[in-house]
Amino acid sequence: MAKQALGIIEAKGLVSLIEASDAALKAADITMVGWTKIGSGMVTGFYEGDVAAVKAGIDAGADAASQVGEVASVQIIPRPHDDLEGFVPFV
Protein backbone atom coordinates (compact mmCIF):
# COMPACT_ATOMS: atom_id res chain seq x y z
CA MET A 1 0.00 0.00 0.00
CA ALA A 2 1.36 3.41 -0.95
CA LYS A 3 2.12 6.01 1.68
CA GLN A 4 -0.39 8.84 2.03
CA ALA A 5 2.16 11.66 1.77
CA LEU A 6 5.87 12.32 2.16
CA GLY A 7 7.07 15.72 3.37
CA ILE A 8 10.65 16.92 3.08
CA ILE A 9 12.37 19.89 4.72
CA GLU A 10 15.93 20.79 3.71
CA ALA A 11 17.67 23.26 5.99
CA LYS A 12 21.13 24.68 6.55
CA GLY A 13 22.30 23.45 9.93
CA LEU A 14 21.14 20.76 12.31
CA VAL A 15 19.68 23.28 14.75
CA SER A 16 17.36 24.59 12.02
CA LEU A 17 16.20 21.06 11.20
CA ILE A 18 15.60 20.24 14.87
CA GLU A 19 13.54 23.42 15.24
CA ALA A 20 11.61 22.57 12.06
CA SER A 21 10.98 19.00 13.18
CA ASP A 22 9.80 20.06 16.63
CA ALA A 23 7.31 22.56 15.18
CA ALA A 24 6.13 20.18 12.45
CA LEU A 25 5.51 17.29 14.83
CA LYS A 26 3.66 19.54 17.29
CA ALA A 27 1.53 21.18 14.59
CA ALA A 28 0.17 18.05 12.93
CA ASP A 29 -0.36 14.32 13.32
CA ILE A 30 2.70 13.28 11.31
CA THR A 31 5.68 11.03 11.91
CA MET A 32 9.32 11.85 11.31
CA VAL A 33 10.73 8.85 9.49
CA GLY A 34 14.34 9.99 9.33
CA TRP A 35 16.90 12.60 8.43
CA THR A 36 20.13 12.71 6.52
CA LYS A 37 23.20 14.93 6.12
CA ILE A 38 23.55 16.27 2.59
CA GLY A 39 26.89 18.04 2.96
CA SER A 40 28.13 21.61 3.43
CA GLY A 41 25.93 21.93 6.51
CA MET A 42 22.71 20.94 4.70
CA VAL A 43 20.40 18.43 6.38
CA THR A 44 17.07 16.98 5.27
CA GLY A 45 14.18 15.66 7.35
CA PHE A 46 11.50 13.25 6.08
CA TYR A 47 7.93 13.13 7.44
CA GLU A 48 4.90 10.93 6.74
CA GLY A 49 1.19 11.28 7.32
CA ASP A 50 -1.97 12.17 5.49
CA VAL A 51 -1.67 14.89 2.86
CA ALA A 52 -3.34 17.70 4.82
CA ALA A 53 -1.41 16.90 8.00
CA VAL A 54 1.92 16.76 6.18
CA LYS A 55 1.15 20.09 4.47
CA ALA A 56 0.30 21.71 7.82
CA GLY A 57 3.34 20.22 9.54
CA ILE A 58 5.79 21.14 6.79
CA ASP A 59 4.47 24.71 6.66
CA ALA A 60 4.82 25.10 10.44
CA GLY A 61 8.25 23.48 10.42
CA ALA A 62 9.61 25.63 7.61
CA ASP A 63 8.32 28.78 9.30
CA ALA A 64 9.95 27.83 12.62
CA ALA A 65 13.25 26.88 10.99
CA SER A 66 13.43 30.15 9.10
CA GLN A 67 13.29 31.97 12.45
CA VAL A 68 16.59 30.41 13.59
CA GLY A 69 18.35 29.62 10.33
CA GLU A 70 17.89 29.05 6.62
CA VAL A 71 15.41 26.75 4.89
CA ALA A 72 16.71 25.66 1.50
CA SER A 73 13.57 23.92 0.28
CA VAL A 74 10.41 22.07 1.21
CA GLN A 75 8.51 19.46 -0.76
CA ILE A 76 5.31 17.49 -0.25
CA ILE A 77 4.73 14.39 -2.34
CA PRO A 78 1.17 13.03 -2.13
CA ARG A 79 0.97 9.25 -2.57
CA PRO A 80 4.67 8.68 -3.32
CA HIS A 81 5.38 5.76 -5.62
CA ASP A 82 6.58 2.56 -3.93
CA ASP A 83 9.82 2.68 -5.97
CA LEU A 84 10.92 5.75 -3.99
CA GLU A 85 11.57 3.34 -1.14
CA GLY A 86 14.86 2.34 -2.78
CA PHE A 87 15.86 5.94 -3.46
CA VAL A 88 14.94 7.47 -0.11
CA PRO A 89 16.02 4.97 2.58
CA PHE A 90 13.49 6.21 5.15
CA VAL A 91 10.35 5.95 3.05
At residue 44, the pLDDT reads 96
At residue 81, the pLDDT reads 84
Flag whether 79 is in a domain: no
Flag whether 62 is in a domain: yes
What pLDDT, in 10s, does the model give residues 78-91? Answer: 998 888 877 776 65
Flag whether 77 is in a domain: no
What pLDDT, in 10s, does the model give residues 38-62? Answer: 999 999 999 999 999 999 999 999 9
**pLDDT (mean) for 57-86:** 93
At residue 2, the pLDDT reads 45
Flag whether 4 is in a domain: no
Flag whether 52 is in a domain: yes
Flag whether 17 is in a domain: yes
User: Is 14 a residue whose pLDDT tops 80?
Assistant: yes
Query: Which residue range forms the structural domain that includes residue 65?
Result: 13-70
Q: How far is CA 91 from the centre of its chain?
A: 11
* pTM, full prediction: 0.90
Q: How far is CA 61 from the centre of its chain?
A: 8
Domain count, the chain: 1
Flag whether 27 is in a domain: yes
Instruction: Name the pairing type of β-strands 42-49 and 70-78.
Output: unpaired
Q: Residue 53 sits in a domain of what CATH number?
A: 3.30.70.1710
SS3 82: coil
